Structure 1
Amino acid sequence: MMFMTYLKERLSWILLFLLLQFLAVFIAYIDPEIPLTSILYYVFLSLIIFVIFLVIRYQKETKFYQELEEAEDILDFSNREFLSPFEKITGDSIARHFEGLKKTVTENERILDEEKDELLSWIHEVKTPLTALSLMIDRLEDQTLKKEMTYEWLRIHLLLDQQLHQRRIPFMENDLYIEQADLESVIFGEVKTLQSWCIQKGIGFDIDLQSTEVMTDAKWLAFIIRQLLTNAVKYSEASDILIISYQRNGRTTLEIADTGRGIDSRDLPRIFEKGFTSTVHHQDHAATGMGLYLARKAAHTLKIKIEVESAPGKGSTFKLTFPKSNDFVRITGM
């Protein structure tokens, strides 16, 4: 491939050489004073020498460009020997631009880190008045107002939680603590968080956990389940959400099934995309398109396979298939 590229690059030189050889033969042909046999012999030798010259120049000239093509890290040409003048100009220019880009990237990363830290600090600060607000809501005597305010409080709490985890996901592998986690306690903890919302909508839970021990990070697993349960409650009316777990082929599978509005078949391949809501319910302003996207990203890092089956009007079933213990060797380094 590189040799063909080199021939294309030097095509004008090759054509010029062939033209000069043809010109020599043509002059010898029309001028009887010049022996044609000697000219043909000269052309033959010239062709051999030219081919050898091309091969040698190919090895020398393409070495520089092959290094450029294969370079993955810092491009430093200061210690390279036998560079042609043009190659040296190219190398110096690339090195300068590369250093400039590195400085820009470093500065942008610093700014992003500062913004992330500021946002995380703000989220944690907001949680204090949010907790106080929850205690104030508990003291309300008007039950109708209490339910409405509890629902709005929960929405704010879930959105803040989503933002918090969204900022942490890029550095998730640094925060992992893989252990034997209890599915039952994680699920019941998340169900309790959504309890007031579920009571308001008349939604219950039918839980049947045949397999409860999984190797994972309990904190991030809780986040994934929180996104799936929030989706199930949000898009369901008075009904039961089914949560079951079982073992198959040595792996634990957790299913969360609702009987809500379901997902259109044309939307199914895109529901885990960032910011995607729905093509059918495009005016649904309650959806942010981030919950399932973040759940998928977290599940990928935890080596949890996440799948969905759904049909309009028949609800949705999300399946989490957990890895075996030895699948975490690469993550933990143990």
Structure 2
Amino acid sequence: MKKLFFRDQFSLIFLNIIQLTVMVLVLWLSGLREVSLIFYLLFLSILFLTGYLVYRYVTLRKFYQRLANPIAWLEEVFETFDEAPLSAALSELLKTQHRLYISEIAHANSKKNEHMTFINQWVHQMKTPLSVIELIIQEYEDEQILSIREETDKLEKGLEMVLYAARLEVFEQDFHVKSVGLKRAVEQVIRDNKRLFIKNRVYPELDLSEVRVESDEKWLVFVINQLITNAVKYSAGKAHKIYILEARTAAGVQLLIQDHGVGIPKSDIKRVFAPFFTGENGRIYRESTGMGLALVRDICDNLGHTVEIESTPGKGTLVKLTFPS
């Protein structure tokens, strides 16, 4: 605090030193060389300057304390600094800014909640006609009906991604960590995507025990679903199997999803978790949105899991989902 005060008053002190030096020099050159008188003038000047600095320090002490310790000031933003005009004016300005800031935050939260409500309602409204379409076509097996079914599956997956992306904004209100059977979660994802496996002629091979991990089952199923559907999509026409394995390391239990598909170029591997990044493969597989892996990374961060990707172009990709022990 004292350092800040002297830094602020340095220009005044320096100006007074220059002024005293010039005054003494003028007196000396004018022939007035009485040393005692000169020292007396210097003493009075320094005394007045010191008195002024002490007065300024006392009246602005709280002001400088706040500036020297801004964190403490933030906790007491509505407390007036002191009675000095400059301090009082700054205090009033900060109060006004703080009230405006709080108002803007409240408005932004209100708009975000409205948007979240709209997204939830819209997704559920869109799911109803999809369910009706699926009920209508489930009795038919011709090629055109199968194409319609594939498109409804894509719509359903897209709506699910939109819903989870919206819910991620209020993640802390929408998760419950408990012991989850890893094999059961994977099998659920495989059942939900059986038509995807058949269409792409890519089939899963599992090697999982009955190990249990601490996670939120709903969010975990979504994460595994994104990783498996990516493995199937980028293996189609190149490999007929993806491998879903389990490993135990010092870091904890790992779920490994290995494919032998197109792989990821080295230039893209560091950016695959960035929102909306589709990379070189995204330009070939135009259905890619660039949001799947970004959501996976955000969900894993919130759940305390880690996700890593290793890939060799033309040979395939290995995804490691780690659950800390």
TM-score range, shorter chain: 0.7 to 0.9
Matched, 1:138 2:138: yes
Per-residue CA shift, 1:17-73, capped at 9, x if unaligned? 121121122123213324245535754785588578658728454124235465445
Matched residues in 2 for 1:50 and 1:208: separation? 84
Q: Work out whether residues 28 and 36 of structure 1, in 8 Å CA contact, stay in contact via their aligned partners in 2.
A: no
- 1:1-334 alignment to 2 at 5 Å? 6-36=5-35, 38-40=37-39, 43=42, 50=49, 57=57, 59-66=61-68, 68=70, 70-72=72-74, 75-77=77-79, 80=80, 82-142=82-142, 144-210=143-209, 212-237=211-236, 238-249=239-250, 251-279=252-280, 281-282=282-283, 284-324=285-325
Structure 1 residues 208-217 or 189-198, which shifts more?
A: 208-217
Distance, in Å, in 2 between the alignment partners of 1:73 and 1:149 is 60
Structure 2: segments with no counterpart, 5+ residues: none
Matched residue type, 2:149: T
Whole-Å Cα distance in 2 between the matches of residues 271 and 49 of structure 1? Answer: 68
Does structure 2 conserve the Cα–Cα contact (< 8 Å) formed by 1:256 and 1:319?
yes
Q: Which amino acid aligns with 1:66?
A: A
Give the aligned residue type for 2:295: L
Q: Alpha-carbon deviations, 1:153-177, whole Å to 9, x = none? A: 1111111111111111122122222
The alpha carbon displacement at 1:310 in A equals: 0.9
Question: Deviations 1:109-146 (Å, cap 9, x if unpaired)?
Answer: 1122112112101211221221222222321231x223
Contact 2:256–2:321 (Cα < 8 Å) also in 1: yes
Quote the offset at 1:220 in angstroms: 0.8
**TM-score, normalised on structure 2?**
0.88
Deviations 1:91-122 (A, max 9, x none): 21221122123222212211221121121012
Tell me if the contact between 2:203 and 2:240 (Cα under 8 Å) persists in the aligned partners.
yes
Amino acid at match of 2:77: L
Q: 1:86 to 1:199 in 2, by over 3 A?
A: same
Change (3 A) 1:288 1:85: same
The aligned length equals 320
> CA contact under 8 A between 1:137 and 1:146: conserved in structure 2?
yes
Q: 1:25 touches 1:36 (CA, 8 Å); kept in 2? A: no
Matched-pair contact (CA < 8 Å) for 2:183–2:210: no
Query: Quick one: distance in 2 between partners of 1:212 and 1:26?
Result: 91
2:183–2:209 contact (8 Å) kept in structure 1? no
Closer/same/farther in 2, CA of residues 127 and 5 from structure 1, 3 Å limit: same
Separation in 1, partners of 2:167, 2:6? 51
* Farther off after superposition, 169-178 or 222-231: 169-178
Structure 1 residues 196 and 174 mapped into 2: Cα distance closer, same or farther (>3 Å)? same
Contact in 1 for aligned 2:81/2:91 (Cα 8 Å):
no
- Of 89-98 and 10-19, more deviation after overlay is shown by 10-19
**TM-score, normalised with respect to structure 1:** 0.86
Do the aligned partners of residues 127 and 73 (structure 1) sit closer, same or farther apart at CA in structure 2, a change above 3 Å counting? Answer: farther
Give the aligned CA root-mean-square deviation in angstroms.
Answer: 2.6
Cα deviation for residue 247 of structure 1 reads: 1.8
SS of the counterpart of 1:270? coil
Whole-angstrom CA distance in 1 between matches of 2:183 and 2:306 = 19
CA contact (8 A) 1:210 1:244 kept: no
Q: Distance in 2 between matches of 1:279 and 1:166?
A: 24
8 A Cα contact 2:81 2:88, kept in partner: no
SS in 1 for 2:156: helix
1:194 partner amino acid: N
CA distance in 1, matches of 2:201, 2:36: 103
The Cα offsets for residues 220-247 of structure 1, whole Å up to 9 and x where unpaired, read as: 1101111111211222214211100122
Mapped partners of 1:45, 1:59: distance in 2: 25
Q: Is the 8 A contact 1:29 1:36 kept in 2?
A: no
Q: Partners in 2 of 1:3 and 1:273 — Cα distance? A: 47
Amino acid at match of 2:21: F
Gap change, CA 1:98 and 1:138, over 3 Å in 2? same
Task: Kindly provide the CA deviation profile for residues 158-214 of structure 1, in whole angstroms up to 9, marking residues without a partner as x.
Answer: 111111111111221222221111111110111111111111111011110146211
State the distance in 2 between where 1:48 and 1:61 align: 24
State the one-letter code of the partner of 2:96. Answer: R
Q: What SS class does the counterpart of residue 271 from structure 1 fall into?
A: coil
User: In 2, distance between residues paired with 1:205 and 1:288?
Assistant: 24
Output the CA distance in 1 between the equivalents of 2:230 and 2:135.
Answer: 26
